[in-house]
Structure 1
Amino acid sequence: MKRRFAMAGTLLALVLGFGTLPAAATPSGTSPASSTTALAAPDIGITAVRAHLDELSAAAARNGGNRRSTGQGYRDSVAYVKGKLQAAGYTVTEQPCTSGCTSGAGPNLIAEWPQGDANSVYMFGAHLDGVSAGPGMNDNGSGSAALLENALTLARENPDMRNRVRFAWWTDEEQGLNGSDFYVRTLSSTERSRIKAYYNFDMVASLNGGYFVNHITSAAAAPMKAYWDSLGLQPEENTEGAGRSDDYSFERYSIPTSGYAMGASARKTSAQAAKWGGTSGSAYDPCYHRACDTLANINTTGLDRAADGIAYTLWQQAVGTGGGGTCDPAGVVGNGGFENGTAPWTGTTAVIAAHTGRTAHGGTRFAWLGGNGSTSTESVGQTVTVPADCTRASLVFWLQIETAESGSRAYDTFSVRVNGSTLATWSNVHAGGGWTQRSADLSAYAGQTVTVTFTATEDYSLQTGFLLDDVSLQSA
C-alpha cells in the first residue's frame, strides 16, 4: 500500500448478485456452500500461497533486499509470476508503463482467462512492487501471492464461465498508483465499460490485522463481505486504505471496486481486538514499509481467509450459470457519476458541474440541487429500463445535505420520484455527516421503462443544499 497522498473519493459499485451462504461460520480453509445455481468455489491451498511468497522473498534477497518497481527484485518477481501463469495456459502480457510511472519502473503484468463473455469482465488485481526499505512480504507479496494461486486454481479447475476474468499485477504502486493508473487511463472508453468490477488485494496478511472490505456496503463488495461474514469475522469498512491503493485508479473512471485488506500503520481499537484478537493500540502491521516486512511478518490465518474469499468472489461473479443470472443492472443508469457532461440527464442540468468549494463523492463532478436560500425547485432525471429479471432492484446514490435551517421541522426537501410518484424524501432535518449512501426501491418496476427524477424544493429563506453523486441501479 502506498503512503497517503491528497486523494479522496469512492465510488458506489454495482455488480451481479451472489449465492446464498450458510448462517453458521465456516472454518478457515473451506468455502461456503453455494446456491443451487452457482458452482462451489474451490479451497485455495495456503501451502501453495506461502510457496509463492517464498519465491518473492528470494527475489528480494538476491537484489538488495527489496522489490522496488525500478529494481531487479521487481523484475524477478514479474518473471516468476509470468512463468507460473504461462505454464498454466495463460497468455500473459507485460505492459510497459510509458507515462506517469517512475523512470525505469518495470511493467504491469496482465493475464486473462480466455472464456466467458468478453463484454463482461471482472478484474482481480494486486500491486507486485514494494518499497526500498524491505522485501515487502505483507505489502504486497501477500495480495500478489493469493491472487496468483487463485489464477492457477481457475486454470486447473477450468470451469464453465459465464463472464470473463482478468488478473493484474501492478507496477509502481508505492510511488503513486502509477501502474494501475496508466492501465486504466490508456483503455478506450469501450474497454472500460466492459469492466463490471475491479477487486483489489493489498496487505491481506497483517500480523495484528483486522478484516476490512473496500466499500463494504456496495454491490461489488457483497460476495466479499458474505464470505467473511460466513466465517463470523464481522468485517469493517477499509477506511485506512481509501484512495491509497490501485482500486482508486479504477474508481476515478467510475468502475465499481471492492477488495480485501488487513490494515497498515493505523492502530487496532479495543473493540477490534475483542472480536478479532491481537493487540489494541498497536499498528495492524508493525512492519509497514520497514525492513522487517519479511516472511516472519505474515498472518497465515488471515492470508488463508483472504485467498479463499477471492475464490468465492471470483466463482460467484464469473463461473457457471448462477450469481445473478440475466439480471445485469450495470449501465442501466447513464452517466451516474456526472463525469461525462450532462447527458442523459434532463431537467435543471446547470446544477451538474465540478463545483468549487465542495468535493465530489467520486471523480470531480456532481449535481448540486438547492442551496439558493429562496423559493425554488430544481431537478435532474433520466429514463431507465429496469431489467425484467431483476426481481430486487434499488436505485442507490450518495447524498450530502448542508443546511442553514435548524430544528426538527422539514422546510426544504429532496425527493426521489418515479413517473411522478414519490418513493422517498429527505430534508434539512437529515443534514450533516457528509456523503451518505441512500436508496429507493425500484423492484416494482422490473421490466418497465420509467423516468427517475431527483427534486430539491426550498422555501423562501435559509438555504439547504442537496449534493447528489454516483447514482446506480443495484440488483441486491
Structure 2
Amino acid sequence: MKLSVPRRAAAAAAFALAGLLASGAPAASAAPVAPVTTLAAPDIPLANVKAHLTQLQTIATNNGGNRAHGRAGYKASLDYVKAKLDAAGFTTSVQQFTSSGATGYNLIADWPGGDVNQTVMAGAHLDSVSSGPGINDNGSGSAAVLETALAVSRAQLQPAKHLRFGWWGAEELGLVGSKYYVNSLPSTERSKISGYLNFDMIGSSNPGYFVYDDDPVIEQTFKSYFSGIGVPTEIETEGDGRSDHASFKNVGIPVGGLFTGASRTKSSAQAQKWGGTAGQAFDRCYHSSCDTTSSINDTALDRNSDAIAHAVWSLSAGTTEPPGDFYENAADVTVPDAGAAVTSTVNVSGRSGNAPAVLKVGVDIKHTWRGDLVIDLLAPDGTAYRLKNSSGSDSADNVITTYTVDASTETANGDWKLRVQDVARYDTGYIDSWKLTF
C-alpha cells in the first residue's frame, strides 16, 4: 500500500485542527526526500495485522477454542503481544486483577520519549467471550493496535507527546480490566492522558464505518482521514459506552475510536453507501464460535488499521529520526528458498563527496525463518558490507531493523544494492522495502 494524495491532504487537515504543522509524506521510491521531518503516518501492512490474527486464532484453537478471561488462551494471547512489544523496544508492564474468581491481566506498553504530561493512549480489549476465539471481537482491534505500535518502533518515532498502548482483560465481563487500570491511576496521572483511542471490532464481515462522537478533535481526526480516502462515516451508537473507552470517559479523559458494527443489521442506505448486504448483521459471528479469521473483512481491517496509525501520528505530533535525506525502494522482491541471491537497488544522485561514516540502512524483509538469510549492502563500486549472517538458531520471522555502516570511503552517488540470499531450505520470504538515510 502507498500513501495517496487524498490521504496526505486528510492528514494535513487533521494536524491543522490540532494546531500542529504537518509536512508531506516521503514517497516510496529511490528519489531523495529531505529532511525527514514528516508527521504523516506510514501505511500499516494488512498482511502484518492478519499475521497477528492468525496467531490469536492458533492460540484459541490450542486452548479450548477461546481466549476468554481466566482461561489459558487469554494469558497466551497477552504473552504473544508482550513478546512483540518487548522485542521492539517498548517498556511493558503487566497489571493483575481479579474478576469472577480468576486472575486477569492488562498489558501496558510505553514508547520512550515524549512529554509524559501529555500522553496519547491507544488501546483494545484482548479477551474473547468463552463461546469463540474472538478474532473480530476483539482480535481485530488488538492486532491493529499492536501493529501500529510496532510501526512506531520501525519508524523510531520521536513524538512531542508521550505514547502509551494498552490491551485490556475481562472487557466481556463489564470493562473490568480498563476500569481497574483507570481506577488504579492517581488523579495526577489521569490528568496526564490527553486522549484515549479505543478500537473494538474493526474488521466486521459486513462492515460499516463508525466513528465515536466524544472528543471533537479525536472525532474529526478520524473523519478527516476517512474523508480523504473517500469513505463516508457515521456516528457510532450501537456500542456507545459498552467498550473500554467508557472507563476513561467516566473519569474525564477525552476519548474517541472506531467500530465496524456488531449484531445490528445494516440498512439499505448503509449498504448503498458502504457495500455489503442490507438486512444482515454487521457481524453475523458476533460472540459466536464462527468469529474466526475467515469472518474478517480485509478491506475494513486495512482501512481502520491505517486510520489508527494516522491518529496516533497526528495526535502525538511526532517526527522520525535520524534527520537527513533518505532514498527508498519499496518494490517487493521475492527471495527464493535456498536459491541465488537477489538484489534491490536504490539510486543516490545529487550528492557531493562520500557517503557518511554512519550510513543508516533500514531493512524490512518478510521471511518465515530469518536465520536462513544473509544480507549485504553493496556500494556503487561493488564493495560488500555484511549486514547479517545466517544462523541456524535464529528461528524468529522477519528482519525489520536498521543497520549502521561506515561507508565514508564510498562515493555517495550511484546505485546502492541490498543483496539478500536464503541459504537453507523450507522457508520463504521477500524484500518488502529498504532505505538509505544520509
User: Unaligned stretches of 5+ in structure 2?
Assistant: 1-16, 25-35, 321-438
Q: CA deviation at 1:218?
A: 1.5
Deviates more, 1:213-222 or 1:179-188: 213-222
Q: Is the 8 A contact 1:94 1:110 kept in 2?
A: yes
The corresponding residue for 1:279 is: 277
Q: CA deviation at 1:69?
A: 1.1
Identical-residue share of aligned pairs (%): 51
Could you tell me how far apart the structure 1 residues matched to 2:187 and 2:100 are?
A: 25
> Deviation digits for residues 154-191 of structure 1, max 9, x if unmatched?
01101222000100000000000000001001100100
Q: CA deviation at 1:241?
A: 1.1
> Deviation digits for residues 229-267 of structure 1, max 9, x if unmatched?
111111111100101100000010011100111000011
**Alpha-carbon spacing, 1:19–1:247, altered in 2? closer, same or farther (3 Å):** farther
Amino acid at match of 1:211: Y
Could you tell me how far apart the structure 2 residues matched to 1:114 and 1:242 are?
A: 32
The corresponding residue for 2:89 is: 89
Q: Is the 8 A contact 1:71 1:105 kept in 2?
A: no
**Alpha-carbon spacing, 1:321–1:77, altered in 2? closer, same or farther (3 Å):** closer
Could you tell me how far apart the structure 1 residues matched to 2:156 and 2:167 are?
A: 21
The corresponding residue for 1:120 is: 118
Could you tell me how far apart the structure 2 residues matched to 1:256 and 1:103 are?
A: 32
Measured on the aligned residues, the alpha-carbon RMSD in Å equals 2.0
Alignment of 1:153-302 (within 5 A): 153-215=151-213, 218-302=216-300
Amino acid at match of 1:16: A
Could you tell me how far apart the structure 2 residues matched to 1:126 and 1:265 are?
A: 19
> Deviation digits for residues 419-449 of structure 1, max 9, x if unmatched?
xxxxxxxxxxxxxxxxxxxxxxxxxxxxxxx
Structure 1 segments (4+ residues) deviating >3 Å = 15-22
Could you tell me how far apart the structure 2 residues matched to 1:154 and 1:103 are?
A: 37
Q: CA deviation at 1:204?
A: 0.1
Question: What secondary structure, in the 3-state scheme, does the structure 1 residue paired with 2:162 have?
Answer: strand
Question: What secondary structure, in the 3-state scheme, does the structure 1 residue paired with 2:120 have?
Answer: strand
Could you tell me how far apart the structure 2 residues matched to 1:121 and 1:203 are?
A: 24
User: Unaligned stretches of 5+ in structure 1?
Assistant: 1-14, 23-35, 323-476
Could you tell me how far apart the structure 1 residues matched to 2:215 and 2:118 are?
A: 22
Q: Is the 8 A contact 1:116 1:162 kept in 2?
A: yes
Question: What secondary structure, in the 3-state scheme, does the structure 2 residue paired with 1:96 have?
Answer: strand
The corresponding residue for 2:58 is: 58
Question: What secondary structure, in the 3-state scheme, does the structure 1 residue paired with 2:167 have?
Answer: strand
Amino acid at match of 1:148: L
**Alpha-carbon spacing, 1:102–1:17, altered in 2? closer, same or farther (3 Å):** farther
The size of the alignment, in residue pairs, is: 293
Amino acid at match of 1:61: T
- Larger helix proportion, structure 1 or 2? 2
Could you tell me how far apart the structure 1 residues matched to 2:217 and 2:20 are?
A: 9
Q: Is the 8 A contact 2:271 2:278 kept in 1?
A: yes
User: TM-score, normalized by length of structure 2?
Assistant: 0.64
Question: What secondary structure, in the 3-state scheme, does the structure 2 residue paired with 1:219 have?
Answer: helix
The corresponding residue for 2:18 is: 16
Could you tell me how far apart the structure 2 residues matched to 1:63 and 1:84 are?
A: 20
Could you tell me how far apart the structure 2 residues matched to 1:257 and 1:222 are?
A: 12
Q: CA deviation at 1:123?
A: 0.5
Amino acid at match of 2:119: V
User: TM-score, normalized by length of structure 1?
Assistant: 0.59
Q: Is the 8 A contact 2:214 2:255 kept in 1?
A: no
> Deviation digits for residues 363-391 of structure 1, max 9, x if unmatched?
xxxxxxxxxxxxxxxxxxxxxxxxxxxxx
**Alpha-carbon spacing, 1:191–1:217, altered in 2? closer, same or farther (3 Å):** closer
The corresponding residue for 1:381 is: none
